[in-house]
Amino acid sequence: MTELERLRGPEDLRALSPRRLRVLAEEIRAFLVDSVSRTGGHLGPNLGVVELTLAIHRVFSSPRDSVVFDTGHQAYVHKLLTGRQDFADLRRRGGLSGYPSRTESDHDVVENSHASTALSWADGISRARLLAGDTDRHTVAVIGDGALTGGMAWEALNNLADSPDQRLVIVVNDNGWSYSPTVGGLARYLDAVRTDRNYERVLGWGKRTLQGGGRPGRLTYDALHGMKKGLKDVLRPQHGLFEELGLKSIGPVDGHDLDALDAALRSARGYGGPVIVHAVTEKGRGYVPAESDAVDRFHTVGKIHPETGLPVVPSRFGWTSVFADEIVQIARTRSDVVGITAAMPEPVGLAPMAREFPGRVIDVGIAEEHALTSAAGMAFAGLHPVVSLYATFLNRAFDQLLMDVALHRAGVTITLDRAGLTGDDGASHNGMWDLALLRLVPGLRLAAPRDEATLRSALREAVSVSDAPTVVRYPKGALPEPTPALSRTSGLDVLAREAGDGGARVLVVGVGPFAATAAEVAHRLGDQGIGATAVDPCWVIPVPDALVDMAAGFDRVVTIEDGIVTGGFGSALRDRLAESSPEVQVQVHGIAHQFLSHASRAQLEEEMGLRPQDIARETAAAVARRNENASTPGVS
């Protein structure tokens, strides 16, 4: 049996010799490359935290001591060490989640995949234990340097500095990356500490001859820490950033040296108050394709060839690529257009614009709130900002959108990538809330394009609006085949017309990627003799007056959207029709008002009855009931 196969839980780690620990670390890396290459997932972040996670579980006693990961995509090693070694269905229905999950293990505390929140969680846990007099348990928060660019993390640090008795250890996993290279003043500070030649020499990073006899070796951690303390005033004027806040800090420590990590974490555990351990790691460690990748393609991967890191199936031209191309074309003719990203220029498609127009794409770090309010300021000063986010992360900046952008009628465009069902990443990443949330924002306009042509058109129309916020949302993945319009009426694209047999007339309205579904539903209804018309309004917030007028001429309206049903587009149209045409029956289809477990998009659509055959069947049954009631005296 291998060391990994022998492992039953984190308590087994404490009996392993240094040699066996090193063997286990290499086995874990080999396991991750082999497993994640088959399923897809977050590879680079986990390769970088192998020794760090081993050391945490050797020094602390999970689950009695709580370990909180920020963000949870670096928790695969934690899963392996806590008894979850079946990665065959990682991020698939019935398999392991791609993030910590309380339903999987008592060792998991937070499903944390929205960054910069772990310190607040840890503060709450450790503060509650202190108030309860439970002083022999520790809370460990593992946070990357990228997540420290988020304002919420600093709110927590500010609070922790005023609570000296909490048993809390903050491990800063400093690898210089979030999704992209970490940016801003904090990044420069950590980089200065990380690369200071005196610190590097004193801490003994790498193999250097620091002991007698010409043999490579390292000073003991206590000796290193003492030398560092004595040199502090020489190396860095005054105190370090964290110590200025009133927090004790240890490091930097080589995040791949188990001995140094063990000593640092034991020192932190024994301190008796909040303490920061600064561990320097290498994202993608031990896997040559990831180590040599300049744009971090290995943060998260699909199925890849483990030997080369190349995709098994090359990605089709996708929604993000269309946005990336169109925004560059717009920027060439509009010098006022600037891009804003929250640490994700590559994933959201702003990297090509940044390469062609340096200085016109601003990476604010993992700070969506700041991104929106800064955009409002840019709009006031004469620019037209395009803020590009994953749809799920807009939730974090709703107040800024409402009170800073919309209230001031700022000409800001927001593009929401991964809108709707994203599936494999689970509950926290489905971009299903924006349609319901954004209905609440006065003056805001939102477009949901259905294909490449409508995405390009919607983006150009959005950036032409200078006195209100505009939003363009689109899903994850490859582009669908074009869905051409038969005609265009008052801004509404008619996608299908079925005459039927002269009975009930149904209007099917599809939002975004469900426009093609609406056309298919109309065809299926037509095959059953039901007159049906499918339309795509493209701009869905606010509900177009032309759509309300058109719907008044039908007996039943069916809406299909990839947002939550409660408070979404369909309910907005139903409310409008209830006022103007109460006799029209409205049938709303969308995402259930619940958190969804990880599964493929196709599986989720089937589960929620969003396939064309499901909707056509339900609609035909409703029409049949209406016809039956109409033919029965006294029944309406």
Q: How many domains does the chain have?
A: 3
Mean pLDDT confidence for 458-474? 98
Residues 437 and 554 in one domain: no
Domain termination residue (choose one: 449, 473, 497): 473
Q: For 333-417, list the strands marked E by DSSP.
A: 337-341, 361-363, 384-390, 413-417
Residues 463 and 493 in one domain: no
What end-to-end distance do the CA atoms of the chain give, in Å? Answer: 72
The reply to whether omega before 542 is within 30° of 0 (cis) is yes
Instruction: Give the strands of the sheet with 66-70, arranged side by side.
Output: 66-70, 139-144, 168-174, 275-280, 248-254
Residues 165 and 256 in one domain: yes
CB 457 within 8 A of CB 400: no
Residues 434 and 546 in one domain: no
Residues 432 and 511 in one domain: no
Q: What is the CATH number of the domain that holds 525?
A: 3.40.50.920
Residues 275 and 399 in one domain: no
List the structure tokens of 519: 């056309």
Q: How far is CA 313 from the centre of its chain?
A: 23
**Quick check: pTM over 0.75?**
yes
- List 29, 297, 396, 556, catalytic entry: 396
Give domain status of residue 400, yes or no: yes
Residue 114 marked ligand-binding:
yes
Residues 448 and 492 in one domain: no
Residue 164 — pLDDT band, cuts 50, 70, 90?
confident
Residues 155 and 240 in one domain: yes
The answer to whether residue 368 is catalytic is yes
Give domain status of residue 541, yes or no: yes
Give domain status of residue 576, yes or no: yes
Domain termination residue (choose one: 409, 442, 473): 473
Q: What would the DSSP string read from start to end of 436-467? A: HHHTTSTT-EEE---SHHHHHHHHHHHHT--S
Closest C-alpha to 494, from 479, 513, 507: 507
pLDDT value at position 221?
A: 41
Helix (H, G, I), strand (E, B) or coil at 177: strand
CB 166 within 8 A of CB 119: no
Please name the residue that has the structure tokens 């599986």.
Answer: 603
Amino acid at 560: I
pLDDT value at position 99?
A: 85
Residue 175 marked ligand-binding:
yes
Helix (H, G, I), strand (E, B) or coil at 495: strand
Give domain status of residue 223, yes or no: no
Give domain status of residue 479, yes or no: no
Residue 145 marked ligand-binding:
yes
Give the residue numbers spanning the domain of 604. 487-630
The answer to whether residue 207 is catalytic is no
Closest C-alpha to 413, from 333, 342, 320, 339: 339
Q: What would the DSSP string read from start to end of 595-631? A: PPPS--HHHHHHHTT-SHHHHHHHHHHHHHHHHHHHT
Residue 76 marked ligand-binding:
no
Residues 168 and 277 in one domain: yes
Residue 147 marked ligand-binding:
yes
Q: For 285-351, list the strands marked E by DSSP.
A: 337-341
Residue 227 — pLDDT band, cuts 50, 70, 90?
very low
pLDDT digits (tens, 9 = 90+) for 74-107: 899 999 999 998 988 888 988 988 888 898 999 9
Q: For 122-210, list the strands marked E by DSSP.
A: 139-144, 168-174
The DSSP code for 479 is: P
Residues 535 and 399 in one domain: no
pLDDT digits (tens, 9 = 90+) for 467-522: 999 999 999 989 999 999 999 989 999 999 999 887 789 999 999 999 999 999 99
Helix (H, G, I), strand (E, B) or coil at 564: strand
Residues 438 and 327 in one domain: yes
Number of Cβ within 10 Å of residue 501's Cβ equals 10
Number of Cβ within 10 Å of residue 4's Cβ equals 17
Residues 103 and 21 in one domain: yes
Give domain status of residue 213, yes or no: no
pLDDT digits (tens, 9 = 90+) for 383-392: 999 999 999 9
- List 167, 283, 439, 601, catalytic entry: 283
Give domain status of residue 307, yes or no: no
List the structure tokens of 197: 């030649």
The answer to whether residue 396 is catalytic is yes
Give domain status of residue 40, yes or no: yes
Q: What is the CATH number of the domain that holds 367?
A: 3.40.50.970
- List 51, 326, 346, 368, catalytic entry: 368
Amino acid at 145: D
| Average pLDDT for the chain | 87
Question: Whole-angstrom Cα distance, residue 337 to residue 329?
Answer: 11
Q: For 408-545, list the strands marked E by DSSP.
A: 413-417, 445-447, 470-473, 487-489, 492-498, 505-510, 531-536, 539-541
pLDDT value at position 224?
A: 43
Q: Quick one: residue 308, left, alpha or beta (phi over 0 = left, psi -120 to 50 = alpha)? A: alpha
